[in-house]
Amino acid sequence: MPRLLLIALASWTLLTGCSGAGTGSSGPPLRQSATMYNEMLRWGTPMGGMEYVAPEARDGFIQAVQEGAARARILEIEIQAVRMGPKGDTAEVFVTILWTAGDSITTVTSVQRQTWKRTEKLWRIHEASPAGEGPTIFTW
């Protein structure tokens, strides 16, 4: 009987994404928050991602949105890598953004480094900076 209970608990852990190795908070995981934030940028509703932006970074985010929306159209965003900090409460998320400038049909690829931090139960983005050289979009 204890073996069956252990198998059931392991199955529940895999299905719910609870590993027990995290920081003990019950908020959404980093991957989910980063995906939702980047999907808002991708589908042209960047202000919908404001809930994932740290309060102290919101002015920079809003300015980046205004500049980016005026000069570019995002075609695709893909999370390439997630690097967790040593304590599990910070992370870098590397994102590839495929976009066009203005009315151009030429595509541009940018790589962005997003700095995320867990505050209370939520993951929030604190900075989006270029990773590499070349044109960038939605960085602050």
Does the pLDDT at position 57 exceed 80?
Answer: yes
Model confidence pLDDT, tens digit, residues 16-25: 333 333 444 5
- DSSP readout, 70-135? HHEEEEEEEEEEEEE-TTSSEEEEEEEEEEEETT---EEEEEEEEEEEEETTEEEEEEEEE-SSS-
CB 96 within 8 A of CB 108: no
Query: Is residue 94 within 8 Å of residue 115, measured between CB atoms?
Result: no
Give the pLDDT confidence of 70-126 residue by residue, as tens digits.
Answer: 889 999 999 999 999 999 999 999 999 999 998 889 999 999 999 999 988 899 999
Question: What pLDDT, on a 0 to 100 scale, did the predictor assign at position 33?
Answer: 97
Partners of 124 in the beta sheet? 117
Cut 0.85: pTM above it:
no
53 SS3 class? strand
Q: Are the C-beta atoms of 17 and 28 separated by less than 8 Å?
A: no
Tokens found for residue 69? 């929306």
The rounded percent of the chain whose pLDDT value lies above 70 is: 81
| Residue position matching structure tokens 């003990």 | 24
pLDDT category of residue 37 using cuts at 50, 70 and 90: very high
